[in-house]
Structure 1
Amino acid sequence: MPPPLTRRAIFAQAWPIMIGQASVPLVAIVDTAVIGQTGDAIALAGVALGSIVITFLFWTFGFLRMGMTGLTAQAEGAGDKGEVDAMLVRGVAAGFVIGAALFALQAVLTPLALALFAGGGALDEAARGYITARFFGAPAALGYFALVGWLFGLGATRRALALQVVMNLINAGLDILFVWHFDMGARGVGLGTAIAEWSALVLGIALCWGLLAPNIADRLKRPARLFAREAMGRLFSVNFDIMVRTIALLMLFAWFTNAGARLGPVQLGANLVLDQFILVAAYVLDAFAFTAESRVGMAIGRGSRAELLRAARLTGEFSLAAGIVFAAAILIAGNPVIDLLTSNEAVREAAYPYIWLVALIPLLGMPAWLLDGIFIGATRGAALRNAAILATACYIATDLLLRPWGATGLWAAMLASYLFRAAFLGLYLPGLLRSVPDRLAEARRAL
């Protein structure tokens, strides 16, 4: 039985995610600061370029996190404990296999990915070192996606918090060691992250074991049932649309990075610094989106349209409040934080003029992030897919239209992309509500 749908319960579920998610961009900030304080603009831009390549490759399979949350929450809401346990085994195994395939194919994927960006020369070399190191963590990273999605689906957010904090502390510590002590540059940042991912996967399996049914060891001896064709087919068929959605959004962010690279390494480095503000806001606001995923999934599993609506309203209230707070904080503290992140004066000067546009993103991007959570929890992949494709197409058209305005047009188009995402998902919301039969209300009327 899930906890009651009250503001207190929603916040109790969300705050561990909030802290854990906040630590993710904080590590990215450490990465940026560690490289930025060396004063090497090429290394800083190399991490930016390498990060978007790895994000594109790894988050192509982000359905292992997102789809797992919705499917697990629905199974939990329906009271199917056996399916809940099986979802974890299937998801982690699928992530490990896909990650191993990425590792094996890196010799082909790396040059192909770098060819898509306007880098070249020393910038490509720095990015290549980062990317090569990150591939060592690919199996662990994708397995970890599935594991965290499973925990979110159950609402076991404190365990997810413990995992996230441990991984990020290891990551930050190793980055400092490899870059400042061993002078490994961008490659050191990537290697620290890869080692942290392996550490988190091992710890995560240990933490999740206590949530599984006592007979899970016996069931693991019969893999034919856990990995039955029908069960695996459902896992991938449900999530195929989510994968297409993720690829579309990754193309959007890759286009943004490529557009920044065309403006030169200094502007690309400035964009990386400004991205840290968006990452912090997005990851913290995602705490309420992830809570919406779990609560909406459980509501659908229980057949309660009323619970779905209440979950959406309560998580929406928290999301709006957080968006306002972050917008104000970025406006007030933006320039001093930029100074902390990089000592390169040219990068600082390139970043200062756009802080006001960045400050608008938490406020105007909040509806898109929340609606993502609602539709992921409902496992409505087609709506997510179509909205992402349309939003990406509109964003690219907007960026091309605003290209004569340089970096101002670049950031204005990115801001518009969040409005496009929210608008297109919003068109599907009435249909989602109509599709959920309120079985609990029908049962009460029958009594």
Structure 2
Amino acid sequence: MNREILRLAIPNIISNVTIPLLGLVDIALMGHLDSAVFIGAVSLGTVIFNFIYWGFSFLRMGTSGFTAQAYGEKNEGESFHILSRAMLISTLISVVIIVLQFPIEWISFKLINGSEEVESLAREYFRIRIWAAPATLGLYVLNGWFLGMQNAKFPMITSIAANVFNIGLSFFFVKSLHMNSAGVALGTVLAQYLGVVVGLIFLFKSYRHLTIHWNWQSVINPANLKSFFKVNTDIFIRTFCVIFVFTFFTSKSAGINDHILAVNSILIQFLLFFAFFIDGFAYAGEAISGRFVGEKNRSQFLKLTRLLFYWGSILALAFGIFYLFANRIILSVLTNQQNIIETALNFKLWVVITPIVSFASFIWDGVYIGSTASKEMRNSMIGASMLVFLPSYFLLQPIIGNHALWLAMMLFMLSRGVIQTFLFPRIISRNF
């Protein structure tokens, strides 16, 4: 079982690491310019696209869970129909996003606070990056489907390719063409489409034989569509809560001043970097748990869950120690502005404990997605965000200022894992 976990987890970790590295490169590129406003602009622009793209990340999660269960049932036809269904929906959503880009922009900047200069640059970033929507959502579907088919190699290569393209293009546009935050946006757009090309090549090279099962009536079968939308609606609400928390965090940071916005934008990269590592094991959990649910193999499902927590706890401890001793070095890589570094060091405690308090929530997400336990995922996230995160912030902010944002974030991550632990017996009784 450990070998199976690592077979899927390690390629996912490798591909996931390129994602925070991309964010780190974007922040570092802006952090080495002559003003903190460029960091703020990319941060605010990214928050908006977190709303847009993370909101539709159910296209990856739902596709992965359903596909893994079809794989466990040895139903090749339904596996390919799930891919077709998800691609159809992602295409329709992308068209809607592009058509509604102007009202989306207007609403976004009404909700997010920032200085006039930061907002102007963030709008420019938005108007470029919005055109990546079809490619970004298409990649969600492809990578989720590959993972559900127990194939972590193709998502790894596709993600690495897209993010290497992105880093290279961003460097070129910023350093050679002096495009600042707009260059980062353009690099992202072009790289996403190149990533889709790589994914489609893998799809047609290795899974073309599945097309013999393809049937349009099965793709749009009302019962299957209803099930797909029910699960993905729950995942959408769950993901919206995550986006809300991170957007609230960034917005309140911007509301303090540009300096704290830059500091918190840099420090949150520590959380994101750990998240993409631990998500490697969560993704392995999606694929394998979904397969065991399809096979109705209760004992292996429980064994998998125990081992996932074993690997997660080791990783969390390692990251906590690493952050404790290397925080100044990492900050120096992200920015050469000493005033930002010195302020950030005042909040290093939160960075150090982040992996310890958050790892369980990531591991549970993987198990729940593979089990298509969307209702429980939704309820745990609503509870953690609305009943823990918000009250914690509003009660403590007048007393401890910016520390309240970080304490609320830690309590949010911790409570997610605790609630999901209590709900787990329901998953067992329903699926086995």
> TM-score, with normalisation over the residues of structure 2?
0.97
CA shift, 1:239, in A, is 1.1
CA shift, 1:215, in A, is 5.5
Match of 2:301 among 308, 328, 340: 308
Residue correspondences, number: 430
Return the alpha-carbon distance in structure 1 between the equivalents of residues 115 and 106 of structure 2.
11
Aligned partner of 2:222: which letter?
Answer: R
Give the secondary structure class of the aligned counterpart of 1:396: helix
Farther-moved stretch of structure 1 (353-362 vs 343-352): 343-352
What residue is the counterpart of 1:245 in the other structure? 238
1:380-437 Cα deviation digits (max 9, x unpaired): 1111111111111110110111212112221111111111111221221111112222
Return the alpha-carbon distance in structure 1 between the equivalents of residues 255 and 55 of structure 2.
24
Alignment map for 1:409-428 (pairs within 5 Å): 409-428=404-423
What residue is the counterpart of 2:270 in the other structure? 277
Alignment map for 1:56-75 (pairs within 5 Å): 56-75=51-70
What residue is the counterpart of 2:29 in the other structure? 34
Give the secondary structure class of the aligned counterpart of 2:56: coil
Match of 1:99 among 83, 94, 100: 94
Q: Percent identity?
A: 29
2:262 counterpart of 1:263: no
Match of 2:396 among 402, 415, 424: 402
Contact 1:92 1:144 in 2 (8 A): no
Aligned partner of 2:57: which letter?
Answer: G
Alignment map for 1:166-245 (pairs within 5 Å): 166-214=161-209, 216=211, 223-245=216-238
Return the alpha-carbon distance in structure 2 between the equivalents of residues 176 and 346 of structure 1.
25
> TM-score, with normalisation over the residues of structure 1?
0.93
Return the alpha-carbon distance in structure 2 between the equivalents of residues 395 and 163 of structure 1.
35
What residue is the counterpart of 1:17 in the other structure? 12
Contact 2:266 2:334 in 1 (8 A): yes
1:134-178 Cα deviation digits (max 9, x unpaired): 111001101111111111112210111100110110000111111
Aligned partner of 1:324: which letter?
Answer: L
The alignment's C-alpha RMSD in Å is 1.4
Return the alpha-carbon distance in structure 2 between the equivalents of residues 215 and 340 of structure 1.
47
Aligned partner of 2:421: which letter?
Answer: G
Return the alpha-carbon distance in structure 2 between the equivalents of residues 227 and 356 of structure 1.
51
Contact 1:335 1:355 in 2 (8 A): no
Give the secondary structure class of the aligned counterpart of 1:183: coil
Contact 1:42 1:122 in 2 (8 A): yes
Contact 1:71 1:153 in 2 (8 A): yes
Structure 1 unpaired stretches of 5+: 1-5, 438-447
What residue is the counterpart of 1:79 in the other structure? 74
Match of 1:151 among 140, 146, 149: 146
2:42 counterpart of 1:47: yes
Contact 1:39 1:344 in 2 (8 A): no
2:353 counterpart of 1:384: no
CA shift, 1:232, in A, is 2.6
What residue is the counterpart of 2:354 in the other structure? 361
Contact 2:65 2:371 in 1 (8 A): yes
CA shift, 1:210, in A, is 3.1
Contact 1:85 1:213 in 2 (8 A): no
Structure 2 unpaired stretches of 5+: none
1:57-78 Cα deviation digits (max 9, x unpaired): 1111111011111100000001
